[in-house]
Amino acid sequence: MDFTERSFALGEIPVVLWTPEDAAAPPLILMGHGGGQSKNHPGIVNRARRFAAAGFTVAAIDAPNHGDRPRTPEFESLLAAVRAGEATFDDMHDALAGPVAADWAAVLDAMPAAGPVGYWGMSMGCGVGVPFIAGEPRVAAAVLGLFGSPSLTATAAKITVPVLFLAQWDDQLVPRADSLALFDALASPAKSLHANPGGHGDLPRFETDGALAFFSRHLM
Amino acid sequence: MDFTERSFALGEIPVVLWTPEDAAAPPLILMGHGGGQSKNHPGIVNRARRFAAAGFTVAAIDAPNHGDRPRTPEFESLLAAVRAGEATFDDMHDALAGPVAADWAAVLDAMPAAGPVGYWGMSMGCGVGVPFIAGEPRVAAAVLGLFGSPSLTATAAKITVPVLFLAQWDDQLVPRADSLALFDALASPAKSLHANPGGHGDLPRFETDGALAFFSRHLM
């Protein structure tokens, strides 16, 4: 299916929107990028185009302090601390989760979806996505993964929508046990774990087919 | 795609063969049933028909002491011991693995496949399938699952073909750690774990789509 790709700003939020041309009441997929990435990262753009070609509207935004948005001195310090091993991914996600959830709520307010809403987020997109989904009743299904942390267990237990969770079996950044524990903590009656060999950046291309099948099953 | 379904005996081995009508050099999928089941179990037949409709030749056989085959007094005693908790699934699989592998080798000898060969086996079909695949170079990809045992670790480490491994997160018969350890032990560079909530008998229907996508990717 043909689709259009359009970039614009919603207040301070840079947005890219992919719109299928011939879909009636298409579902909307929100895509949350990883740490240090942006709405224009190939991992976002290539998947967004696959989803749009299959009849989904897709929106990606730059998280605060990412992409086209200004970086605050506080965030620069936090980043430096993470790189030095003096702060954790949890610290970074904690700083971003509230603002990111507010951004997505603003996007959903401004562009009411014609169909059901899904969320896709890996790594930081999962770390900030778990609290977003737990608190946002408009999200009806989510693909999450490449992250896990004991600090997310209680929040994950509030999620009841269908979730496809992707884990890399040899992830050098996320302990395997933390990924499995996050999947385990989800209260969703319909949840699937897909795990594949390889490191944090080695998510196989065919898992995009899996995500598409999952979103089609639950949102179409 | 239309297909035919034909039952016959190959020596002492009862076989069902599903053949797609219009496929050129179709791959062959061997299906190994679970303990107490047979080649005619709905879980085998329904999946076999899906695979055949997608262009695969499919063969299912009754394992020794199952389906249309006679039960030996020794096997009756072993079954009673398993039911009484005095013998394990490992004991039952150990008794069957050699004969089952010989049966499949006879099937492959008698019906040389036009295309690559895959194997699908859950539960006992996994327990006897792991040694079969480890020793049968004609099998090029496998869907395994619903089983795990420390006694299979060394054999699993000899398997290098692509594997899709299915685990039920709340399996009441197979400890979760044993399933994950069996997946971990596979030496296959291309292996995927799919885990879903529910018990041993609750494998979701959509995992048949996943198996079909897997076999198509690796055998077509």
- Cα–Cα distance for residue pair B59/B63, rounded to 1 Å: 12
**Do the strands A57-61 and A13-20 form a parallel or antiparallel pair, or are they unpaired?**
antiparallel
pLDDT at A66 (0 to 100): 97
pTM, 2 dp: 0.94
pLDDT at B25 (0 to 100): 87
Are B217 and A210 a contacting pair at CB < 8 A? no
Structure tokens at B64: 């020794």
Beta bridge partner(s), residue B15: B8, B61
Give the H/E segment covering residue B58: strand B57-61
What percent of chain B is modeled with pLDDT above 90? 95
Are A193 and B192 a contacting pair at CB < 8 A? no
Q: By the 8 A CB rule, do A212 and A139 touch?
A: no
Q: Which of B189, B194, B210 sits opposite A197 (nearest CB)?
A: B189
Give the H/E segment covering residue A139: strand A139-145
State whether the Cα torsion B142-B148-B150-B152 is positive or negative. negative
**Which residues 49-88 of chain A have a CB within 8 Å of chain B?**
none
Are A209 and B206 a contacting pair at CB < 8 A? no
Indicate the residue type of A165. F
What would the pLDDT profile of B152-163 be if each residue is shown by its tens digit? 999 999 999 999
State whether the Cα torsion A143-A145-A150-A151 is positive or negative. negative
- Cα–Cα distance for residue pair A29/A27, rounded to 1 Å: 7
Q: What is the DSSP letter of A119?
A: E
Give the H/E segment covering residue A195: strand A191-196
B217 touches chain A (CB under 8 A): yes
pLDDT at A22 (0 to 100): 85
Q: What is the DSSP letter of B99?
A: H
Tens-level pLDDT at each residue, chain A (220 residues): 899 999 999 999 999 999 999 878 899 999 999 999 999 999 999 999 999 999 999 999 999 999 999 999 999 999 999 999 999 999 999 999 999 999 999 999 998 777 899 999 999 999 999 999 999 999 999 999 999 999 999 999 999 999 999 999 999 999 999 999 999 999 999 999 999 999 999 999 999 999 999 999 999 9
- Cα–Cα distance for residue pair A168/A174, rounded to 1 Å: 9
